[in-house]
Structure 1
Amino acid sequence: MSAENQSWTIESKSSLLDLKLNEVWAYRDLLLLLVRRDFVSFYKQTILGPLWFFIQPLFTTIIFTFIFGNLAGISTDGLPKPLFYMAGITAWNYFADCLTKTSTVFKDNANIFGKVYFPRLIMPLSIVVSNLVRFGVQMILFLLMMAYYHFVIGAPFNITWAIALFPVIVVLMALLGLGAGMIISAMTTKYRDLAFLVTFGVQLLMYATTVIYPLSTALEKYPAYAWIIEYNPMTPIIETFRYGFLGEGAFSWGGLGYASGITLVLLLVGIVVFNKVERNFVDTV
């Protein structure tokens, strides 16, 4: 066969479910650099800097306590209102940050993706890890508040055995935000308007989660709409979080298993979509 009649076909041998974890591990230094970049750039040229880690959830807790606890009179299952809201806010903020920041990873890093090769999964993973630092700081604030209410005020709440599930809860929140965020990020490469709806949608989703009210109240007062809250995968996660640290919450193995199943499905779909889009997204972003 002459050289003029020969043809070459270049195809990728990697599957859509290939995470390239060996490459991610090889580029772990880049992951740490991106985590540091996210941390520094977010609070660069701010007066209070990392203190915003404490200020944001604290102010949100005060507002929720005043509006929903005092004015609206929504039940907190007998828990001190600030503790109840701080627990929900701490857990929700980590999931919401992972989701919103991962959902724009293609658009925000298009210039970098088009110039140099590295495992693209590094970017969303760096977001999850950098948000974990913020979550850790806010957990310290939550634990300090727990200590204050226990030793100074003597508030009635009890730490239960479910606190041992805390690592599982953190992993579920991270993977749920990562999976959903990768799906949305892939969609925003073609539908730019979706990026503007994410932040608004996450805020609405918070009200369909037991952040500002317990599940028992939703089931009692709004039975017709309670199914929306029950089928929200973040609801059993937050309820388990509260039950473990404060002793109140609608904990069930079935609910936690349901949340784990939804998380696994979204993560697998997110990986498939992410790996498919990353191959040609530079042409569309």
Structure 2
Amino acid sequence: MWDWEVKTKQPWFRFGIRELFHYKDLILRFSKRDLLASYQQTLIGPLWVIVQPLLTTLTYVLIFSRVARISTDNVPPLLFYLPGVILWNYFSECLNGTMGTFQYNAHIFSKVFFPRLTVPVSQVLTSSFRMMIQLSVFVAIYGIYMLNYDLGVNRAVVLLPVSLLLCAGFAFGAGLIISIATAKYRDLDTVLQFVLRLFMFAAPVVYPSTIIPEEWKWLFWLNPLTPAIETIRYAFFGSPAFSLLPLLVSVFSVGILLVIGLVIFKRNEVRVMDTI
């Protein structure tokens, strides 16, 4: 038996988090669907999870290390670029999946009711699964390099989950806000894809933070992806010098972004369906 409560107004801070626990099976089904759909009718199937970041990293090694000769702080180029590539891929996949919530699922939303938040959550879960596999590959390659290089994991490795949550939270919060806008203005997606490609160079994916001029470092560290990537590099390579303050600032700013994103999403999720 169902109990329905009809209200004239919705509370401002209604996040809908509790509803997600009742629909956890649906979230897992969506995630499984996305994983299977990603590798259907492909030559090497799920191996793309491993091949894609490795090919990207090798390209960066050739262009930025061999040709442009950008410093990698005395870290082997392959090891230096790979964590940045993995975290950037994780961020961009979570962002793209979240901001396309209404565009690519309108046919489902118009037929049956369920919490709309389950879709972006499942997208983040799918991307997290891929990211964990890629991190495992990085750890394996790191272990091989340890045989010939003086490498060692330090205590900062306990902050690895914080770095990953920063990437996911930043992408999720921003994606929820953008999903409302792209549902109404379809051409925004094209513009945002271009901006996203440029944004990669605002994060230390292909260069270390040590090459940033002092007068611009305060702005550079405001990007939540910067402490996320640099924390992982410090944990595995011991460089660059680690500071906890930028990480704490990023955690605080991403937390605010998440709250804003959830509020905007929940207040507009029904209204948006009238414009699709």
Q: Is the 8 A contact 2:167 2:224 kept in 1?
A: no
Give ranges in structure 1 of 5+ residues lacking alignment.
1-9
Amino acid at match of 2:97: K
CA deviation profile, 1:113-166 (whole Å, cap 9, x unmatched):
111111111011000100011001100110111011112xx1232211010011
Given the alignment, which residue of 68, 87, 90 partners 2:83?
Answer: 87
Q: 1:192 maps to which residue?
A: 186
Q: 2:52 maps to which residue?
A: 56
Q: Is the 8 A contact 1:215 1:250 kept in 2?
A: no
Q: 2:3 maps to which residue?
A: none
Give ranges in structure 2 of 5+ residues lacking alignment.
1-5
Are 2:13 and 1:17 aligned? Answer: yes
Identity %: 39
Q: Which has the larger radius of gyration?
A: 1
| CA-CA distance at 1:20 after TM superposition | 2.3
CA deviation profile, 1:141-199 (whole Å, cap 9, x unmatched):
10111011112xx1232211010011122222111110011111111122222111222
Q: 1:43 maps to which residue?
A: 39
CA deviation profile, 1:67-121 (whole Å, cap 9, x unmatched):
1011111111110010000011111111111011111111111111111111111
After superposition, residues 40-189 of structure 1 pair within 5 angstroms as 40-151=36-147, 154-189=148-183
Q: C-alpha root-mean-square deviation of aligned residues, in Å?
A: 1.5
Q: Is the 8 A contact 1:176 1:263 kept in 2?
A: yes
- The CA distance in 2 between the partners of 1:282 and 1:105, in whole Å, is 11
Change (3 A) 1:194 1:257: same
The runs of at least 4 consecutive aligned structure 1 residues that moved more than 6 Å come to: none
Change (3 A) 1:215 1:12: farther
TM-score by length of 2: 0.94
- The CA distance in 1 between the partners of 2:217 and 2:185, in whole Å, is 32
Given the alignment, which residue of 220, 227, 236 partners 1:229?
Answer: 220
Q: Is the 8 A contact 1:236 1:250 kept in 2?
A: no
- The CA distance in 2 between the partners of 1:98 and 1:250, in whole Å, is 29
Q: Is the 8 A contact 2:101 2:119 kept in 1?
A: yes
SS of the residue aligned with 2:172? helix
Given the alignment, which residue of 255, 268, 274 partners 2:259?
Answer: 268
Given the alignment, which residue of 199, 202, 218 partners 1:208?
Answer: 202
- The CA distance in 2 between the partners of 1:13 and 1:30, in whole Å, is 28
Amino acid at match of 2:56: T
Change (3 A) 1:253 1:12: farther
Q: Is the 8 A contact 2:166 2:224 kept in 1?
A: no
| CA-CA distance at 1:245 after TM superposition | 2.1
SS of the residue aligned with 1:78? coil
Amino acid at match of 1:180: A
Q: How many residues align?
A: 271
TM-score by length of 1: 0.91
Q: Is the 8 A contact 1:79 1:157 kept in 2?
A: no
Amino acid at match of 2:157: I
Amino acid at match of 1:41: A
- The CA distance in 2 between the partners of 1:252 and 1:119, in whole Å, is 40
Q: Is the 8 A contact 1:54 1:141 kept in 2?
A: yes
SS of the residue aligned with 1:283? coil
Change (3 A) 1:148 1:111: same
| CA-CA distance at 1:227 after TM superposition | 4.4
Amino acid at match of 1:210: P
